[in-house]
Structure 1
Amino acid sequence: MQIKAGYTLTYTCVTPTPMLLCLNIHPSRRGDLLTPQELSFSQGVKAWDYTDSFGNTCTRVTAPAGKTTISTEFVVYDSGVPEYVPLDAVQHEVRDLPDDVLVFLLGSRYCETDKLGDIAWQMFGSVAPGWPRVQAILDFVHTHIRFDYQLADRTRSAYDGYLQQVGVCRDFAHLALTLCRCMNIPARYCTGYLGDIKVTPSPSPMDFSGWFEVYLGGHWYTADARHNTPRVGRILMAIGRDATDVPISTQFGPALLTEFVVVTEEVISLA
């Protein structure tokens, strides 16, 4: 199947403002592109890409004073098959984990393993390690947090989400991946596109999506506490320890996001 995806974002700046953008699809999906995925700017902006420490393709710009619109639209191939659920994937002993995976066991800005460690072991210590433990965490977070787009809070942490029991997709991901880390399962935050493909359309506005991946049996596997079911058409943009590492933009000065439109939809052939 083919998926059309993209966005239109407009920022209003008082003065020229340096920005870091995390708005490209992940290098692991570039081989699936059927049309180019390039960032376009409404004003004459010098932009250049770099690869961050997690392997994401990011962009550096200085947005001029006034309004600057950033946009892209592309078509990407997708298998159309629901995501694989690794029911038999084993959990590694910490001593056996690759060195570069260890960072995804540690606490981070939004993922307070120190505050949730005892809670995690009380709830999931008796669950079989590996995917059964991951699934138990997904089931808990899926029912524990109530999705409410109007109550999005960019300062809400995993522990806050646990206490407040409300949030958006990133809050589901932060709580679930933190609980996984507490149980010695490496987990990393993911952001990207997830359209309403082969599911009942959501009434909420289309947005970028947040989920996570767990490291089991020598591989990274997708886990999504908000939806808690295999989905079709997920397009990865970036990975990191938590949302701190993969914001759509980081501004080094005042900048107001005044337009935000995201598109992710299946291309329906008329043939």
Structure 2
Amino acid sequence: MRIRAGYEISYDCPAPTPMLLMLNVRPERAADLETPDTIQTEPVVPVRLYMDTFGNVCGRLVAPAGRITLRSDFVIRDDGEPDPQRPEAVQHAVEDLPDHVVEYLLPSRYCDTELLSDLAWRTFGDTPLGWARVQAVVDYAHARIAFGYQHARATRTAHEAHEEGCGVCRDYAHLAITLCRCLNIPARYCTGYLGDIGVPASDAPMDFSAWFQVWLGGTWHTFDARHNRPRIGRILMAVGRDATDVAITTHFGPAALSGFKVVTEELP
């Protein structure tokens, strides 16, 4: 399968404004690219790339005063298979977790485990360990939150999403991640492209998507609490503890979003 993906994002800046960008695909997908995944800017300004502590490709630039547009348009190969299902994947004891994984058991900005721990053990303490327990968490988060773009709020935590019962894809991910961490299952936040491939097309404008991964059986596995079904054509851009670590853009000064378009479509 071949997928065309990309974006066009514009900001209006009243003064020169430093920015961090997280708009490239993850290094493990770089070999699948048929055309370069390059950040282009208008006007042209230098973009310096670096690797953050989570292994994400990040960019830095200084946007000049006025309007700046960021864009990319690339083609990537995909196996065309739905998210792999591994129900036999086992849950590891905390003491057996690798050092680079154990940090995904800790609370973070949007994953307030201290407020959901009692609920997690009351609700899932009797479920089988491993894959079945994670799926029970996903089923719960999927049913608990009502999706709606009008419910989007950048400051909403997992506990608030649970209590308010509404949100967008990041809120589903934060709630499921938090409940998994409460149950000693390492979980990390993911962001990337997810087009309407293999499912009915949505009338809503295309956007970047959020899902999560858990560490079972010695590797990371993908789950999606919003859709709660294996999907085709995920293109991973970044991972982190929660949405704080994978913000598409971060600006250090006033910058008003004036245009936003994302494309993800299957090619012949």
Provide the TM-score with structure 2 as the length reference: 0.99
Alignment of 1:7 onto 2:11: no
Matched residue SS, 2:220: strand
Alignment of 1:20 onto 2:3: no
Alignment of 1:181 onto 2:214: no
Query: Counterpart of 1:146 in structure 2: which amino acid?
Result: A
Distance 1:198 1:230 in 2: 10
- CA drift of 1:229 comes to 0.4
Of all paired residues, the percent bearing the same amino acid is 57
Corresponding position of 2:199: 199
Q: Deviations over 1:107-143 (max 9, x none)?
A: 0000001000011000000001100000000001111
Query: Counterpart of 1:67 in structure 2: which amino acid?
Result: R
Q: Deviations over 1:147-203 (max 9, x none)?
A: 001110011110010000000000000000100000000000000000000101112
Corresponding position of 2:38: 38
- Partners of 1:7 and 1:262 within 8 A in 2: yes
Distance 1:184 1:85 in 2: 21
What is the number of equivalent residue pairs in this alignment?
268
- Partners of 1:149 and 1:204 within 8 A in 2: no
Distance 2:86 2:108 in 1: 26
Distance 1:101 1:181 in 2: 11
- CA drift of 1:26 comes to 0.5
**RMSD value over aligned CA atoms?**
0.5
Corresponding position of 2:95: 95
Matched residue SS, 2:15: coil
Distance 1:47 1:76 in 2: 22
Corresponding position of 1:241: 241
Query: Counterpart of 1:257 in structure 2: which amino acid?
Result: L
Distance 1:32 1:44 in 2: 27
Query: Counterpart of 2:216 in structure 1: which amino acid?
Result: L
Matched residue SS, 1:19: strand
Corresponding position of 1:212: 212
Alignment of 1:261 onto 2:261: yes
- CA drift of 1:213 comes to 0.2
Corresponding position of 1:147: 147
Distance 1:126 1:203 in 2: 40
Distance 2:44 2:16 in 1: 12
- CA drift of 1:44 comes to 2.6
Corresponding position of 1:112: 112
Q: Which runs of 4+ in 1 moved over 4 A?
A: none
Matched residue SS, 2:137: helix
Query: Counterpart of 2:175 in structure 1: which amino acid?
Result: L
Distance 1:86 1:36 in 2: 32
Matched residue SS, 2:53: coil
Query: Counterpart of 1:199 in structure 2: which amino acid?
Result: V
Distance 2:44 2:80 in 1: 38
Provide the TM-score with structure 1 as the length reference: 0.98
Distance 2:90 2:203 in 1: 38
Query: Counterpart of 1:233 in structure 2: which amino acid?
Result: G
Query: Counterpart of 1:200 in structure 2: which amino acid?
Result: P
Structure 2: unaligned runs, 5 residues or longer:
none
Corresponding position of 1:65: 65
Matched residue SS, 1:31: helix
